[in-house]
Amino acid sequence: MPPVYRGETTFFGAYTEPEHGTDITQLSTVAERKGDKFILRGVKTFITNAPTAKYGIVLAQTDPEKRHRGQTLFIIHTDWPGVQIRKLSGKMGQRASPVGGEITLDNVEVPIDYVVGGEKGINQGFYWTLAYFNVSRLGPAAIALGIMLAAFDKALEYAQKRIQFGQPIINFQLIQEKLARMAMLIEVSRSMLYRAAYYVDSYIKFQIDPRAMAAITSATKVFITDAANQVIDEAIQIHGGYGYFEEFDVERYWRDHRVTRIYEGTNEINLLTITDALRRGGVWKP
Ligand SMILES: Cc1cc2nc3c(=O)[nH]c(=O)nc-3n(C[C@H](O)[C@H](O)[C@H](O)COP(=O)(O)OP(=O)(O)OC[C@H]3O[C@@H](n4cnc5c(N)ncnc54)[C@H](O)[C@@H]3O)c2cc1C
């Protein structure tokens, strides 16, 4: 990890497959043990950073019979024999990020040392992936918060400059209402994100039930990414026709934020995670 933290290389996490996106309980990528090695076969898709990273994590089935109880995390290097990475093109937004590489694993030999957690990590991959998502889902929430803040700044500035009916459009009460509602959503989103991050500090010290943490992270991700959807949409509306063209950044903000409701678990599956915690009496309630 140190070269990643130093910014010398990027890193990827490959869970999604062409046939398994939301449902990763039974993967097509398999890892077969041969002595002190595993042989990895399969295809991963939509993998952020795959085209540039030197290495990353792959989730694979080590015991297909056991479904999610038989999955393991492996570290692989992208220049190993049998690893092929294809960059997917035509992405709607976040085009500065080389997202969407497709990774083909053709009998890739992985030494046992590259199993995350060593021997103890075998068949723990699914659970560790969920534990990781409990924290990582705040990433899209933070991205969405940043983009909606930028969109709000642009809208506020534009509303004060744009003259219609002989006056700045911010003088019109319907525009004022939009800006007030946008500001409220930003305030609530920021508080919710910081509070969730505070809980994460306790979670990584094992002081919070994982299902409670999952509910908090999922609620934060869904609320903030939905709020961004509303705020950026209104920012475009305030810009009128100019908001629909790329010269004004709000058009790009729309495209960039859109994926935050899809990756790190779609908002639908995150809503189900919240209700799952609610149904397990005592684990978590709002
Ligand atoms: C730009 C980008 C970057 C990505 N980066 C990564 C990455 O780095 N690593 C990685 O592993 N993956 C990555 N992904 C993949 C992403 O996590 C998946 O696209 C996502 O999990 C959804 O899977 P899917 O696309 O197969 O959709 P599907 O699972 O096919 O879902 C289709 C629709 O059905 C809904 N749905 C599915 N199951 C249910 C259910 N039980 N109840 C209700 N609704 C349901 C979904 O919410 C969605 O609306 C990335 C995706 C994108 C677009």
| Catalytically active residues, by annotation | 264
DSSP 89: -
DSSP 190: H
Best probe residue, ligand 1, of 10, 12, 20, 22 (max atoms within 8 Å of C-beta): 22
> According to the model, what pLDDT value does residue 96 have?
87
Q: Report yes or no: 232 and 151 within 8 Å, Cβ to Cβ.
A: yes
Q: Which tokens go with 186?
A: 């930003």
Instruction: Give the residue, by CA position, lying nearest to ligand 1 atom 38.
Output: 22
CATH 1.20.140.10 range(s) for the chain read: 137-279
Q: What angle do CA 223, 99, 197 make, to 5 degrees?
A: 35
Q: Which tokens go with 190?
A: 């920021």
The tens digit of pLDDT for each residue in 163-202 reads 999 999 999 999 999 999 999 999 999 999 999 999 999 9
Tell me the C-alpha distance between 19 and 235, whole Å.
36
- pLDDT means per 10 residues, the chain with 286 residues, are 89 96 97 97 96 95 97 97 92 86 94 96 97 96 98 98 98 98 98 98 94 97 98 98 96 98 97 95 89
Please tell me if the CB atom of residue 21 comes closer than 6 angstroms to any atom of ligand 1: yes
Please tell me if the CB atom of residue 129 comes closer than 6 angstroms to any atom of ligand 1: no
Fold of 2-122: Butyryl-CoA Dehydrogenase, subunit A; domain 2 (2.40.110)
What spacing in Å lies between the alpha carbon of 264 and ligand 1's midpoint?
Answer: 8
Calculated CA dihedral for residues 97, 245, 143, 187, nearest 10 degrees:
170
> According to the model, what pLDDT value does residue 227 have?
98
Tell me the C-alpha distance between 180 and 164, whole Å.
20
CATH 2.40.110.10 range(s) for the chain read: 2-122
What spacing in Å lies between the alpha carbon of 138 and ligand 1's midpoint?
Answer: 16
> According to the model, what pLDDT value does residue 221 have?
98
| The architecture CATH gives domain 137-279 | Up-down Bundle (1.20)
